[in-house]
Structure 1
Amino acid sequence: MIEIDARGMRCPWPAIRLARALREHGTAEVAILADDPAAPRELAAVAAAAGRALVTDSEMRFRVEASG
């Protein structure tokens, strides 16, 4: 599992970091910590664009499940 700590970063940076991880690590599951109020919406859009689902683990922790 790839883990990203994007706390303290304002959008679009958490979404950019997630998109990069998905591109570089292919089918791996990615966990991301993000505290920007816009993060859930933007991270969900990045996950959907990659054909994957965003799961909310807690208020600040999100997970993009592994594909295939």
Structure 2
Amino acid sequence: MRMRFLGSLSEAGACPTLYETDRGTIVVQGMQVTDAEALADLRDVLDGETAVEVPRELLTEIARRVLPDA
């Protein structure tokens, strides 16, 4: 799998950051959620999955940049 940088709101490419893959998926780089109460709210977490926190503004900005008519 190869990834292409989409963008970040952080300085020097630090997290949180979004990438687009050559498989048509999005990869999120960010701080892992470790708060027990927050993790208890997740549903159907499979082995190997984790939760990553990103600011809403990052998703909005990337959507505006890469999606047609966003």
Higher strand share: 2
Give the TM-score of the pair, scaled to structure 2.
0.30
Task: Give the alignment's TM-score, normalised by structure 1.
Answer: 0.31
Q: Larger % of helix: which?
A: 1
Q: Look at both structures and tell me which one has the larger radius of gyration over its CA atoms.
A: 2
